[in-house]
């Protein structure tokens, strides 16, 4: 039997950050993850994704002392560029660039490779005082009583926690154990994820190209051996993504270069390709008895506009703002306030991402032309400033069109 203030299920990036955030509050923390330790996962190259961390997340990470871990190997994102290539020919017909410097900031955020970041984070968290970390150990169930949540692990351990945090991903066992349902929808898309090298420098510009099937996004990575590199997230309808994934490297590169419209010169694959299913999923509540849902246990959204992990870090910022200094971090009042303050902004953010995804999916030519007209409008009017604030990760309710 183990007694702790906070049990965290899930040692993904969100769960590890949660551990550091609660330790920073002086809580005792026990973190369990069903998967292998991240060092093993990193060397097996299991997560080829990179994550854009936006400025509000950087502020939170700085507060809890984790920013140096994220900054190591990060690439600045100084400009976001949206291109429309939805005409009859596969070529760029409209381009809108949004530079952070126009809003008085040097960057929108940074881009970091997930696997090495998770390995660094787990090493950092493991040596924090008051935290215990156990990989290769799954949560199998939980039973909340008035003053404690008893969480069962698959190695037979029982953990008594005043607060349990579900950071155990989209199929969260803790969420299911609490009987919290989800709303799930999607358009049968998948994301092809890989890294590329290219002859032209990316100049710290993140580029999103719209044609059909979903966005094609190039996000800057550090140069390797003096050669520029970028991470690619290429969203397509499932069957198209399946066909592309089955191609050999040479045939895949041909399709890749057609889709990228040559914006960074000829792209060459740098490493393996992976495919991720794309869904939208929102839990019915973000709280339960002595339970808080965070990250993908609470919300899953398509990788558009770098909202996923940044929204997860927003969950942790909101939750720890409520628990800080409280005698009982799992008190029902705190948790219901967490749900009330967090649910509506996350649902609104998901609706925004959903709208962008639908626009990027557009197949029929008239719809693609409408999207192109929208991009021109965005570039030429005061809406441009609003878009930049959103790009900077401004929380809902703080975006203003005023200079």
Binding site for ligand FAD (CB under 6 A): 9-15, 32-35, 49, 51-52, 138-139, 167-169, 173, 191, 193, 233, 276, 295-296, 303, 306-310, 312
The single-letter DSSP state of residue 304 is S
Token reading at 81: 């560029």
Shortest Å distance, C-beta 373 to ligand FAD: 27
Shortest Å distance, C-beta 34 to ligand FAD: 4
Q: Could you give the CA distance from residue 160 to residue 149 in angstroms, rounded to a whole number? A: 6
Q: How many residues does the chain have?
A: 403
- Using DSSP, state whether 313 is helix, strand or coil: helix
Shortest Å distance, C-beta 154 to ligand FAD: 8
At 49, give phi and psi (nearest 5°): -75, 155
Shortest Å distance, C-beta 119 to ligand FAD: 12
Considering the complex, state which of residue 284 and residue 326 has its C-beta at the smaller distance from ligand FAD. Answer: 284
- Strands (E) located in 73-226: 75-77, 79-84, 94-99, 109-113, 131-135, 139-144, 149-153, 158-166, 182-185, 189-197, 205-210, 216-224
The single-letter DSSP state of residue 116 is H
Shortest Å distance, C-beta 73 to ligand FAD: 15
Considering the complex, state which of residue 299 and residue 371 has its C-beta at the smaller distance from ligand FAD. Answer: 299
4: nearest Cα among 25, 23, 29, 34: 29
Cβ-based neighbours of 94, under 8 Å, separated by 6 or more: 83, 84, 372, 375, 376, 379
Shortest Å distance, C-beta 267 to ligand FAD: 17
Shortest Å distance, C-beta 64 to ligand FAD: 16
Considering the complex, state which of residue 139 and residue 182 has its C-beta at the smaller distance from ligand FAD. Answer: 139
Considering the complex, state which of residue 280 and residue 312 has its C-beta at the smaller distance from ligand FAD. Answer: 312
Q: Is the Cβ–Cβ distance between 231 and 198 less than 8 Å?
A: no
Which single residue is written with the structure tokens 């990316």?
A: 202
For every residue of 213-279, DSSP letters joined together read SS-EEEEEEEEETTEEEEEEEEEEEHHHHHHHHHS-HHHHHHHHHHHTTTBTBS-EE-S--EEEE--
Considering the complex, state which of residue 191 and residue 283 has its C-beta at the smaller distance from ligand FAD. Answer: 191
Considering the complex, state which of residue 81 and residue 93 has its C-beta at the smaller distance from ligand FAD. Answer: 81
Token reading at 362: 């557009």
Cα angle 174-175-176, degrees, rounded to a multiple of 5: 90
Shortest Å distance, C-beta 12 to ligand FAD: 2
Q: Could you give the CA distance from residue 278 to residue 297 in angstroms, rounded to a whole number? A: 15
Shortest Å distance, C-beta 303 to ligand FAD: 3
Considering the complex, state which of residue 52 and residue 85 has its C-beta at the smaller distance from ligand FAD. Answer: 52
Considering the complex, state which of residue 93 and residue 134 has its C-beta at the smaller distance from ligand FAD. Answer: 134
Considering the complex, state which of residue 353 and residue 368 has its C-beta at the smaller distance from ligand FAD. Answer: 353
Shortest Å distance, C-beta 19 to ligand FAD: 12
DSSP β-bridge partners for residue 270:
none
Considering the complex, state which of residue 329 and residue 393 has its C-beta at the smaller distance from ligand FAD. Answer: 393
Cβ-based neighbours of 71, under 8 Å, separated by 6 or more: 110
Sign of CA dihedral 115, 174, 238, 86: negative
Q: Is the Cβ–Cβ distance between 74 and 53 less than 8 Å?
A: yes
């Amino acid at each position: 039997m183990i007694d702790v203030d906070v049990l965290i299920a899930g040692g993904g990036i969100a769960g590890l950050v949660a551990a550091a955030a609660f330790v920073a509050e002086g809580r005792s923390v026990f973190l369990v993850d069903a998967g292998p330790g991240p060092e093993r996962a990193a060397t097996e190259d299991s997560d080829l994704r990179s994550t854009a961390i936006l400025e509000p997340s950087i502020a939170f990470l700085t507060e809890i002392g984790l920013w140096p871990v994220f900054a190591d190997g990060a690439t600045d994102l100084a400009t976001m560029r949206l291109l429309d290539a939805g005409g009859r020919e596969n070529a760029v017909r409209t381009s809108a660039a949004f530079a952070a410097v126009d809003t008085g900031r040097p960057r929108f955020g940074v881009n970091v490779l997930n696997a090495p970041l998770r390995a660094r984070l787990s090493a950092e968290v493991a040596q924090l005082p008051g935290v215990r970390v156990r990989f290769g150990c799954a949560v199998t169930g939980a039973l909340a009583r008035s003053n404690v949540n008893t969480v069962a692990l698959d190695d037979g351990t029982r953990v008594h926690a005043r607060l349990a945090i579900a950071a155990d991903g989209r199929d969260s066992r803790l969420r299911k154990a609490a009987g919290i349902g989800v709303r799930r929808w999607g358009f049968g898309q998948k994301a092809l994820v890989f890294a590329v090298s290219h002859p032209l420098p990316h100049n710290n510009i993140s580029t999103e190209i719209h044609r059909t099937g979903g966005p094609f996004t190039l996000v800057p990575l550090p140069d390797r051996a003096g050669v520029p590199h970028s991470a690619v997230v290429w969203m397509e309808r499932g069957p198209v993504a399946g066909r592309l994934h089955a191609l050999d490297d040479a045939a895949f590169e041909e399709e890749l270069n057609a889709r990228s419209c040559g914006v960074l010169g000829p792209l060459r694959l740098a490493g393996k390709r992976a495919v991720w299913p794309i869904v939208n999923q929102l839990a019915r509540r973000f709280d339960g008895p002595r339970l808080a849902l965070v990250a993908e246990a609470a919300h899953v959204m398509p990788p558009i506009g770098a909202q996923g992990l940044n929204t997860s870090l927003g969950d942790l910022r909101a939750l720890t703002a409520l628990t800080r200094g409280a005698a009982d971090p799992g008190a029902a009042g705190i948790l219901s306030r967490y749900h009330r303050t967090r649910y509506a902004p996350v649902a609104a953010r998901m609706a925004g991402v959903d709208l962008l995804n639908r626009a990027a999916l557009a197949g029929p030519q008239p719809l693609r032309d409408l999207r192109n007209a929208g991009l021109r409008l965005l570039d030429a009017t005061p809406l441009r400033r609003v878009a930049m604030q959103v790009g900077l990760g401004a929380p809902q309710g703080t975006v203003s069109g005023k200079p």
